[in-house]
Amino acid sequence: MGEKEVRIGVYVCHCGTNIAGVVSPQELASYAATLPNVVVAKDYRFMCSDPGQEMIKQDIKEHNLNRIVVAACSPRLHEPTFRRVCAEAGLNQFLYEQANIREHDTWVHMRQPKEALEKAKDLIRIAVAKAARLEPLEVQKVKVTPVCLIVGGGIAGISAALDVANAGFKVHLLEKSPTIGGRMAQLDKTFPTMDCSACILTPKMVDVARHPNIEIHSYSEIKEVEGYVGNFKVKIVEHPRYVLADKCTGCGKCAEVCPVFVPNEFELGMGSRKAIYVPFPQAVPNVYTIDREKCIECKLCVKVCEPEAIDFNQQEREIELEVGTVIIATGYDVYTPFDAPQYGYGILPNVITSLELERLLSSFGPTGGKVIVPTTHEKPKRIAFIQCVGSRDQRLFPYCSRVCCTYSVKHARQIKEKYPDTEIFIFYMDMRTFGKGYDEFYEIAGREYGVNFVRGRVAEVRRVPGTDKLMVRAEDTLLGQLMELEVDMVVLASAVIPREETEQIQHLFRLSRSADGFLLEAHPKLRPVDTLTDGVFVAGMAQGPKDIPDAVAQGKGAAAAAIALMGMGEVEIEPYFSIVNEELCSGCKVCQDICPYGAIGMTVDGKSNINSVLCKGCGACAAACPSGAIDTQHFKFNQVMAQIEAAMKR
């Protein structure tokens, strides 16, 4: 390649008015034409469109171009597009460079068109400088292990698991708690159809349990992740249940005799369970678990267990899985609103959260479906719902939790159905009941059920002295009036927040999180289930607040993405690996420990050697190599130096 004359074509995209509205693409193209090695420079309305792509292909042939630069959006968006264009025109796809004059220029300097023009010229000059030094590379192909790990057994994970398994791939479904089912298992009914949550969820759970391609690893957590797309090695730890899963029949006799009562997490502490327990009757797997922290080791359970399933000596077990793809569906937590003391949660017993109400409404919940005032155990006569507790609050969680408005409407309707006399007031900022059939659902609540909607933030909830009743003070912003309302009970629509383990998951899989703390997708619109780590996908609330249909859709979307990858059997990885020039390598070993992938070894002659498949191309070794013997393809020393020189030229 070095011998051949470098002939660069530069294409400036208008991107409609996104670029052309700030800087003149024509001027940029004529500037580009003056740069060294540039043979052709053109502009076009949408380079990524068919005619745009065709223009490049034509020029490659006509002008014998051997390097292409497109000045347009971020390469993180359209680099693959234009690389394909090059490849289709018979040019090695790595002889392509993109100047990011949209995200890094016209969009961020919209009010300084003159400076933006100068910057765009600079960015094009930098790209041309790199392009002139680009070298043709061959993509590497690696095999994809046809196994998918799904982290999280909630509805998103379950939906994904079934789709992947049905496509014929092995699935490992990992769940931290003793049962799959997730948050949905805690819900009573689902909006807007008012299906019984258990009725639609539990068959799916059973399907999962029975599926020959799915292996459930409940009560398990991830310890270590190594490898890369198609070839992950995941070490998981299965916690001891002290009950042998293959022997336990789930008969429950042990729990009957267990003398220890423990507040039940599944019921949010409102009910109790035993020290040996299943979280809820339909648990999958239906295997009991001993809570050793609470167990008094009376061993009554051992005596009654006919299959002799109880084993107090059971140990933690490490399992290593080799998987090709991963779907993260770790779900969410509900904010415990202690940081909002004005609502009295945790101080006033009759202030509860929506999820607690959900359990009270459930027919198999702690009250058998009766909604009662916690202190009096009586039917509430008047209930206030407070929306956006923590959500849309700059001090706490600036985002919208998306489900609260609709579920509060659902709660109101459920209560009205049970107790038509109970008065309900919903205090809201604005009602966001989007979604198919949701707004109709909300309309009916007001019109037919007589639920009172009050627009305004509640300032304070306090106890009415000498009673168990609560005084809610708020401003009705529609009427412009202060109002004080005496109620029996307050329900807080508490924010949906990322799970505590999200950070750990993020680090294990090298993911990113968005400002809200949820996992970040690769692109907010076009790649909503991909993450920045190839082969790792995200689904459900782990990615951000969403309702059940969205969580299921995303689970199925992630499944489709994983299936597509595994179906190919192999994956192309960018050839950005580092290479050792053995002539120059002195075997100083500086590079050896730097590589996070153990890709660098030593030859028998004591020279460094890089395994190009293990190497991920970070370039840390190249920067470190004190003899200049290592270079990183596509980010070579002379390429970056040329970019820096071009950046400073004027």
Partner 1 sequence: MGGNGEFEPRIVGILCNWCTYAGADMAGTSRMQYPPNVRFIRVMCSSRVDPQFILKAFELGADGVFIGGCHHGDCHYVTGNYRAEERIKLVRKLIEQLGIEPERLRLEWISASEGNVLVEVMNDFVKKLKELGPSPLSKDKE
Partner 2 sequence: MPVTVAMVSLASCWGCYQSLLDTHEALLDILPQLDIKFWHTVTDFKYKDLESYKDGSIDVGIVEGVCRTEEDVHILKTLRKKCKTLISLGTCSTYGGIYGLLNLTTIDQALKRKFVEAESVQEPNIPEEDVPKMLDFIVPNRKIVDFEVFLPGCPVVSKDIADAILGLLKGELPKPPVRTLCDECPREKSEVITIKQLKRDYEGIPDPKKCLLEQGYICMGPATREGCGALCPKAGMPCRGCYGPGPNVIDQGAKMISALGSIVDYESISPEELVEKVGDVAGTFYNFFLPSGIISKTVRKAK
Query: Which residues of the chain form contacts with partner 1 (CB under 8 A)?
Result: 74-77, 100, 102-105, 107-112, 114-116, 118-119, 122-123, 126, 503, 506-507, 510, 512-515, 520, 524, 532-533, 576, 594, 596-597, 616-620, 622-624, 632, 635, 637, 640-641, 643-645, 647-649
Of 119 and 413, nearer to partner 1 (C-beta) is: 119
Identify whether the C-beta of residue 360 lies closer than 8 Å to the C-beta of residue 189: no
Of 552 and 642, nearer to partner 2 (C-beta) is: 642
Q: Is 430 exposed, middle or buried (CB count within 10 Å of its CB: 0-12, 13-18, 19+)?
A: exposed
* Residue 647, binding choice from partner 2, partner 1, none, Cβ under 5 to 8 Å by partner class: partner 1
CA neighbor of 29 nearest in space, from 16, 13, 18: 13
Q: How many residues bind partner 2 (CB under 8 A)?
A: 21
CA–CA separation, 148 vs 169, rounded Å?
Answer: 7
* Residue 581, binding choice from partner 2, partner 1, none, Cβ under 5 to 8 Å by partner class: partner 2
* Residue 105, binding choice from partner 1, partner 2, none, Cβ under 5 to 8 Å by partner class: partner 1
Between β-strands 189-190 and 351-353, what pairing exists: parallel, antiparallel or unpaired? unpaired
640 belongs to the binding site for partner 2 (CB under 8 A): no
The whole-angstrom distance between residue 104's C-alpha and the CA centroid of its chain comes to 26
* Among residues 260, 270, 355, 620, the one that binds partner 2 under rule CB under 8 A: 620
Name the residue type at position 581.
N
**Smallest separation, CB 635 to partner 1 (Å):** 5
**Smallest separation, CB 645 to partner 2 (Å):** 12
**Smallest separation, CB 314 to partner 1 (Å):** 33
Of 107 and 419, nearer to partner 1 (C-beta) is: 107
Write the CA distances from 575 to 91, 135, 336, 423, 509, integer angstroms: 16, 11, 47, 66, 21
Of 504 and 603, nearer to partner 1 (C-beta) is: 504
Residue position matching structure tokens 């600036």: 398
Residue position matching structure tokens 């750990």: 504
CA neighbor of 238 nearest in space, from 174, 150, 301, 312: 174
Q: Interface mask (CB under 8 A) for partner 2, residues 579-608, using x and -?
A: --x-xxxxxxxxxxxx--------------
Between β-strands 231-238 and 317-323, what pairing exists: parallel, antiparallel or unpaired? antiparallel
Of 74 and 609, nearer to partner 1 (C-beta) is: 74
Of 55 and 123, nearer to partner 1 (C-beta) is: 123
Question: What residues form DSSP beta bridges with 274?
Answer: 261
Of 464 and 641, nearer to partner 1 (C-beta) is: 641
CA–CA separation, 603 vs 125, rounded Å?
Answer: 41
**Smallest separation, CB 503 to partner 2 (Å):** 19
* Residue 588, binding choice from partner 1, partner 2, none, Cβ under 5 to 8 Å by partner class: partner 2
* Residue 119, binding choice from partner 1, partner 2, none, Cβ under 5 to 8 Å by partner class: partner 1
CA angle 397, 193, 199 (to 5 degrees): 95
Residue 459: its H or E element? strand 458-463
Of 6 and 591, nearer to partner 2 (C-beta) is: 591
DSSP 67-105: EEEEEES-HHHHHHHHHHHHHHTTS-TTSEEEEE-IIII
Segment contacting partner 2 (CB under 8 A): 256-264, 490-498, 500-508, 626-634?
A: 626-634
**Smallest separation, CB 15 to partner 1 (Å):** 11
623 belongs to the binding site for partner 2 (CB under 8 A): yes
609 belongs to the binding site for partner 2 (CB under 8 A): no
Of 51 and 626, nearer to partner 2 (C-beta) is: 626
Of 100 and 362, nearer to partner 1 (C-beta) is: 100
**Smallest separation, CB 21 to partner 1 (Å):** 12
* Residue 126, binding choice from partner 2, partner 1, none, Cβ under 5 to 8 Å by partner class: partner 1
- Contacts of 415 by beta carbon, 8 Å cutoff, 6+ apart: 361, 371, 380, 383, 422, 424
The whole-angstrom distance between residue 269's C-alpha and the CA centroid of its chain comes to 28
Q: Interface mask (CB under 8 A) for partner 2, residues 543-582, using x and -?
A: --------------------------------------x-
**Smallest separation, CB 532 to partner 1 (Å):** 5
Identify whether the C-beta of residue 205 lies closer than 8 Å to the C-beta of residue 160: no
What's the Rg (C-alpha) of the chain? Answer: 30
Q: Is 311 exposed, middle or buried (CB count within 10 Å of its CB: 0-12, 13-18, 19+)?
A: middle
* Residue 626, binding choice from partner 1, partner 2, none, Cβ under 5 to 8 Å by partner class: partner 2
3-state SS, residue 631:
strand
**Smallest separation, CB 602 to partner 2 (Å):** 8
Of 264 and 608, nearer to partner 2 (C-beta) is: 608
CA angle 197, 200, 201 (to 5 degrees): 80
Q: In this structure, what are the phi and psi dihedrals at residue 160, rounded to the nearest 5 degrees?
A: -65, -45
**Smallest separation, CB 539 to partner 2 (Å):** 34
Identify whether the C-beta of residue 287 lies closer than 8 Å to the C-beta of residue 241: yes
* Residue 584, binding choice from partner 1, partner 2, none, Cβ under 5 to 8 Å by partner class: partner 2
618 belongs to the binding site for partner 2 (CB under 8 A): no
Segment contacting partner 2 (CB under 8 A): 24-32, 226-234, 371-379, 627-635?
A: 627-635
* Residue 532, binding choice from partner 1, partner 2, none, Cβ under 5 to 8 Å by partner class: partner 1
- Contacts of 35 by beta carbon, 8 Å cutoff, 6+ apart: 8, 10, 124, 125, 128
Of 549 and 626, nearer to partner 2 (C-beta) is: 626
Binding site for partner 2 (CB under 8 A): 581, 583-594, 620, 623-629
